[in-house]
Amino acid sequence: MTFADRDPRIGEVLLTPDRIAARIGEMGAEITEDYRDRPPLLVCVLKGAYVFLTDLARRIDLSVDIDFIAVSSYGNSTRTSGVVRLIKDLDVDIADRHVLLVEDIVDSGLTLRYLRRNLQARGPASLSVATFLARSSADLGALDVRYVGFTIPDEAWVVGYGLDHAQELRNLPYVARYARP
C-alpha cells in the first residue's frame, strides 16, 4: 500500500498515467509538426508544469532548448490572491526566439495574461502556449492557448502530475481530485 492509498486528501482519479501519456504523445507530435522549421524554446512555468514539460519535451522530435520561469498567485491556498508575483526569471534572452510557454493549468487566465505580457515585451519571434490542463470555463481563445492536454471541471481542485496543494502531492503519477479532509 502506497501513501496515496492511505491519504484521505486524494480523491477520485480523473486522469490515469496511460491516458496522460497518450495525450502528451499526441501533443508532442503536433508541436513537432508545427515547429519543424523553427525549433522552440520551451519555457516551463514552475513548479506545477515541470512533470508535464519533462514528458512533453521527450515527445517533441526536435532539438529544443528549455528554460524556467516561476510566478505565484496562489501561495498555499486553493484560491488565487489576484496578484501575480515573479519569483524566478528566465536565464536566456528570448528576443527573436520561437517560445512555447508550458503551463500546468489555465483557470482564470490571470497568471497566463501576466506571463504573456511579460514575455511578449522581450521581443520573441513567436509566443505560443501549451497547457496540461484547462478549466472548462477558461476562455482559451481569448487567452490564445494553442495546445491543451485536457479540460477539467471548474469545481475540481486537482493534485498530482506536478500539480499540488500547499506544495504537496505533486509526485502522484496521475491527476486526482483534491478531497479536503
Q: Is 139 a known active-site residue?
A: no
Q: Residue 152: what residue type? A: I
Active-site residue, selected from the candidate residues 55, 104, 107, 164: 107
Q: Residue 89: what residue type? A: D
Question: Do residues 101 and 45 touch, judged by C-beta distance below 8 A?
Answer: yes
How buried is residue 180: exposed, middle or buried, by Cβ count under 10 Å (0-12/13-18/19+)?
Answer: exposed
Question: Do residues 144 and 127 touch, judged by C-beta distance below 8 A?
Answer: no
φ/ψ of 82, rounded to 5, equals 85, -5
Residue 50: all three cell numbers together = 515541470
Query: What does the alpha-carbon distance between residue 39 and residue 64 come to, in Å, rounded to a whole number?
Result: 6
The residues with which 176 forms a beta bridge, in sequence order, are 13, 159
Q: How many Cβ atoms from other residues are within 10 Å of residue 49's Cβ?
A: 27
**Active-site residue list:** 107
